[in-house]
Amino acid sequence: MSFKQLKYLIRSLSLEFAKNIEDKSHRISSLTWNNIKVNYRTSSSDMVLIYEILLKSKHKKEYYFPERLKPKVIFDIGGNIGITSIYLSSVFPNAMIYSFEPLKENFEILKLNTSQLKNVKVFNFGLGAENGIFKAYLSDDNENYGGVSFYSEVEGNLSESFSECEVKNVNDVVDQLGINTIDLIKIDTEGAEYDILTSLKYEFLKKTSWITGELHGNRDFELLNYLTNMGFSISLNKNIDNRLFMFNAGKKEVVSNLSRKEVNFF
């Protein structure tokens, strides 16, 4: 058993889950987490998401949320197969979570994984600056089902291999849903983060308390500067030789009330 398999076994307490790291058939399997059946494709990025978001200990998980956050409305932008929505539902059971995933293959598993959760609504389209059908370029790693980008020039994507996906203007979607605020935003959209967040009406985004996600080398620091000018405090974890990095953006009134221990994780 490899070291990675051993880590997955210890965290999941499932020998099948650990063994499935080596199952290159990419068949659908499942793991029970917190009494929820979580479906995933074997030997794929799905398993990495489960490990990083669900199985790691609280302060080592991919996403961090201050305990004082009490969101009523959450947007999970780039829902993939629903692992983050499952986690958000467990952390914030009183929130309504809207999850957006444009890729049909991912969406079918997302829908299956969240069908047990009454506070999650899922949508088979992406969010953006304008409405339309756009090419989503696939990853050059055939096990990475999350690395689909609307930008063919992004490193790690195949310009000749794509799937067509629907995108809707983020403000139109907000209006159609009839919501007044998005309290928390998780975003991981393979380079479209700048377009989405800067397209959201300025006065609307100013009411958001917390934004977290991954950035991919497309106008990342322009986006962070934009959020800073809106009154967000920014933290990030970036290796100088890696274009991908995680970030948190919290309203200063939230960040200023973090405990000393929480500041270490911001």
Does 225 have pLDDT greater than 60? Answer: yes
Share of the chain above pLDDT 70, in %: 90
Instruction: For each of the domains in the chain, give its residue range(s) and CATH number, in order of start.
Output: 1-58 (no CATH), 63-123+169-263 (3.40.50.150)
* pLDDT number for residue 144: 56
Does 161 have pLDDT greater than 70? Answer: no
Q: What is residue 149's three-state secondary structure?
A: strand
Average pLDDT over residues 96-101: 98
Average pLDDT over residues 169-186: 97
Question: What residue type is 100 in one-letter code?
Answer: F
Residue 151's pLDDT band, with cuts at 50, 70 and 90, is low
* pLDDT number for residue 146: 52
Predicted confidence (pLDDT) per residue in 48-78, tens digit: 999 999 999 988 899 989 888 999 999 999 9
The per-residue DSSP string of 165-215 comes to: EEEEEHHHHHHHHT-S---EEEE--TT-HHHHHHHS-HHHHTT--EEEEEE
Residue 148's pLDDT band, with cuts at 50, 70 and 90, is low
* pLDDT number for residue 157: 46
Average pLDDT over residues 218-229: 95
| Paired sense of beta strands 210-215 and 184-187, if any | parallel
Question: What residue type is 86 in one-letter code?
Answer: I
Q: CA 144, 191, 153, 163: dihedral to nearest 10 degrees?
A: 50
Least reliable range by pLDDT among 140-144, 215-219, 220-224: 140-144
152-162: b (≥16 Cβ within 10 Å) or e: eebebbeeeeb
Whether the Cβ atoms of residue 147 and residue 157 lie closer than 8 Å to each other: yes
Total residues belonging to the chain: 266
* pLDDT number for residue 260: 78
Does 261 have pLDDT greater than 90? Answer: no
* pLDDT number for residue 76: 98
* pLDDT number for residue 109: 97
Q: pTM for this one?
A: 0.92
Give residues with Cβ within 8 angstroms of 198, minimum separation 6.
223, 226
Does 19 have pLDDT greater than 60? Answer: yes
Predicted confidence (pLDDT) per residue in 27-48, tens digit: 999 999 999 999 999 999 999 9
Positive or negative, the CA dihedral 171, 176, 179, 184 is negative
Average pLDDT over residues 115-131: 96
